[in-house]
Chains A and B, each alone.
Chain A
Amino acid sequence: MPADNIQLDDNGKLLHFLSIEGLNQSILTEILDTAESFTSVSERNVKKVPILRGKTVANLFFESSTRTRSTFELAEQRLSADILSLNVSTSATTKGESLLDTLQNLEAMQIDMFVIRHRDSGSAYFFAQHVGPGVSVLNAGDGQHEHPSQAMLDMYTIRHYKKDFSQLRVAIVGDILHSRVARSQIHALNLLNTAEVRVIAPRTLLPVNTESLGVQVFEDLDQGLKDADVVIMLRLQKERMRGALLPSEKEYFRLYGLSQDRLNLAKPDAIVMHPGPANRGVEIESSVMDGNQSVILQQVSFGISVRMAVMSMIVGQSGLQTGDES
């Protein structure tokens, strides 16, 4: 789709990282390959490369976040960037400053890259449209729209364990309606030619025309899990019980919670993923989460390399440079 694809420059290189939709297979593969080359950095004694030396990255989180924000910060540090992290929900905008003023004030401090999370769908596009030339925006989650870096670390995890997407059945289970992670995952899986992408959810947690995203829809967990290679569980927000979307956590777990018995319906070597933070006993049984099919903690460590990869591609020095930061 987007006719006005502002994520890519004329040569098809990344300028901003806003949504998986609008990117292409070669960019996604490049992100995964680049991330692979960064994995070794994190395993060294001195975990730094000078790719972002002299660059300033501002992390603007208008919504709270623990792991996305900390893995972005670690990625930035390992790339030797100077970092400014602002918890904006408690600062200027609550004093009435407009979003654009906040952004422009920070730009005046010569920020090179913004990592932004905001509650409004489309906010990442909005910011990218309004930053000056040479300044990049990375979407760390915009409303219910996309969370592209999370999806890419999930793709990295899948590729790490399963190699060939074209042979895979991937099932995404849970609150698709409110999930920016699911939207990004669906686009990414389809761009990487996944054989079958399934979503499994009660009807109240499915947006209308979910099929139009390019997925098979299941309302029955057992059917949806059958022969899956990858099972991605989504977090169920507690507030969903209040809006009459679901009767109770107990019933949700009964119908959609991932237990070992149910997981046995998937392929024997299926992996279990979760973008976190997980609710044990609500969408996933503790024993499954800690079980040997779970790769949930690996996802977190891969998150650092993937974010390093995206940022390095944006500054145009893709790949691992020689030499450590001294």
Chain B
Amino acid sequence: MSLLIKNGLLIDPVARNTKQSDIYVVQDKISSIGKPPANFNAEQTIDAKGHWVLPGLVDIQARLRDPGQPQKANIASETAAAIKNGITSLCLPPDTQPVIDNSATVELIHHRNATFGHSARVYPIAALTRELGGEQLSNVASLKANGCVAISNATRPLASNLVQRRAMDYAAGEDMLVIIQPIDHDLQGHGCAHEGAIATRLGLPAIPEAAETAALAKDIELVAQTGARTHFGQLSCARSVDMVRRAKAKGLPITADCAIHQLFLTDQDIGNFDSSKLTLPPLRSQYDKAALREGVADGTIDCLCSDHQPHETDAKLRPFPSAEPGISGLDTLLPLALRLVEEELLPLADIIARVSVNPAQIIGLPAGKLEAAELADIAIVDPDAYYVCHGNEFVSQGKNTAFEGWDLKGRVQTTIISGEVVYNDNS
């Protein structure tokens, strides 16, 4: 199999530049860029004139609800959404049902993806503790051997700091990345909105910043103690960005992401109890949003994720505090990232790095680069395609967008995985 992508504008997130060039794909890999390899004979040619050619996107946190919650989504529906939106690699948090704490569940996910999936690469993240119960370590080495790329307790609490310390020690010994979403569950309580003037006005149980920052301070101390390679996910507070920045300056082995919706929405968007804006961590203040953007710009926040959480309609069709948190994000990851370029947060190649090569390097995935000998996972994007965001047009089974009615720009024309066209926009 050989494929030529010609006349496109290549967005190179490693060299951090863009250039007009052709890509030559042989079998599952990029064979060369610019000049054809010897004896190249294109069996398939894609004319990408006027389009951008990006490495397939890497989403470091996307819930596919599979196994266990078919009413919300499944691996077929969500990988279809992924490839339609140029996302070729997805990391799956362990809070599936059953949780990813044993090899059989990992096998099941691989099997279901191979059978029903749409070619997107799905990388399970292993549960840090059995059943995510917070007490007993899961079999980290076996799970790693089975293809789990990191360990995490998702959003569930650990029984004690001692368990956390030992888990991080053990993970460091196995050279396994630890992913932590910093949450102090006591401080979070049953809160559902950022502690600020909006929650005060609406009488919503509030979540203080300390619910994140107190946990993060402790987590950073445990990284210093154990040396465990640690990635902090879904940061939401200005003070968190500051703490991560300082910890990185000290040379601690940490990285961080935030959900891309945190860069666009604040607690004010809750309006009159709009449950589509219910997220955990909650949408924070303008000030936090600005600090997160700064963190993205200066590299404190290494990558952006969709924090994809598809829901059935009923999950949101409840009064705000009783609705389920989360946003269906696969369908908006790329257009929102491109909007950051438009808003001049960073140049195009730098933004693309934050949704491709950066998360790939953090996790250790063979993805995110447009270079010879790399896997040919590629997205071709029409940067001028305007459309209005409507949740009911999402490919994801979860129609619960927080961006209903937004004007978005940038649509994927073609997605290629392992050198094969897996999606083509026929509209």
Interface residues of A (CB under 8 A from B): 2-4, 21, 98-100, 118, 120-123, 125-126, 142-146, 180, 183, 207-210, 212-213
Q: Are A99 and B319 in contact (CB under 8 A)?
A: yes
What are 17 A-B contacts with C-beta separation under 8 Å?
Answer: A2-B271, A4-B271, A99-B322, A120-B319, A120-B321, A120-B322, A121-B319, A122-B272, A125-B273, A126-B318, A126-B320, A183-B203, A207-B200, A207-B206, A208-B196, A209-B200, A212-B201
Lowest 4 CB-CB distances: which A-B pairs, in order? A122-B273, A144-B203, A145-B203, A120-B319
Q: Which residue of A lies closest to B193 (CB)?
A: A121
A180 to B: closest C-beta gap in Å? 6
Q: Are B197 and A125 in contact (CB under 8 A)?
A: no
B214 to A: closest C-beta gap in Å? 16
Q: Point out the residues of chain A lying under 8 angstroms from B199, CB to CB.
A: 207-208
Measured in the bound complex, the distance between the Cα atoms of B195 and A212 in whole Å is 13
Measured in the bound complex, the distance between the Cα atoms of B321 and A302 in whole Å is 32
B36: CB under 8 A from chain A? no
B383: CB under 8 A from chain A? no
B205: CB under 8 A from chain A? yes
| Of the residues B196, B197, B317, B319, contact of A122 by C-beta under 8 Å | B319
Q: Which residue of A lies closest to B189 (CB)?
A: A243
B204: CB under 8 A from chain A? yes
Measured in the bound complex, the distance between the Cα atoms of B204 and A3 in whole Å is 19
B43: CB under 8 A from chain A? no
Measured in the bound complex, the distance between the Cα atoms of B271 and A99 in whole Å is 22
Contact A21 to B206, CB < 8 A, known contacts A121-B273, A122-B320? no
Q: Point out the residues of chain B lying under 8 angstroms from A99, CB to CB.
A: 318-319, 322
Q: Are B203 and A146 in contact (CB under 8 A)?
A: yes
Q: Which residue of B lies closest to A178 (CB)?
A: B203
A126 to B: closest C-beta gap in Å? 4
Q: Which residue of A lies closest to B322 (CB)?
A: A120
| Of the residues B196, B202, B208, B317, contact of A121 by C-beta under 8 Å | B202
Q: Point out the residues of chain B lying under 8 angstroms from A126, CB to CB.
A: 273, 318-320
Given contacts A145-B204, A207-B200, 17 further A-B contacts (CB under 8 A): A2-B272, A4-B272, A99-B319, A120-B319, A120-B321, A121-B202, A121-B205, A121-B273, A126-B320, A143-B204, A145-B202, A183-B203, A208-B199, A208-B200, A208-B208, A212-B197, A213-B200
Q: Point out the residues of chain A lying under 8 angstroms from B273, CB to CB.
A: 121-122, 125-126
B425: CB under 8 A from chain A? no
B327 to A: closest C-beta gap in Å? 18
| Of the residues A100, A121, A209, contact of B203 by C-beta under 8 Å | A121
B71 to A: closest C-beta gap in Å? 13
Q: Are A21 and B203 in contact (CB under 8 A)?
A: no
Q: Are B195 and A208 in contact (CB under 8 A)?
A: yes
Chain B 316-353, CB-CB to A under 8 Å as 1, else 0, gives 01111110000000000000000000000000000000
B195 to A: closest C-beta gap in Å? 5
Looking at A146, A209, A213, which has the most chain B CB atoms within 10 Å of its CB?
A: A209
Chain B 293-326, CB-CB to A under 8 Å as 1, else 0, gives 0000000000000000000001001111110000
| Of the residues B272, B314, B321, contact of A125 by C-beta under 8 Å | B272
B314 to A: closest C-beta gap in Å? 7
Q: Are B321 and A209 in contact (CB under 8 A)?
A: no
Q: Are B204 and A121 in contact (CB under 8 A)?
A: yes
Looking at B195, B196, B200, which has the most chain A CB atoms within 10 Å of its CB?
A: B200
Q: Point out the residues of chain A lying under 8 angstroms from B195, CB to CB.
A: 208
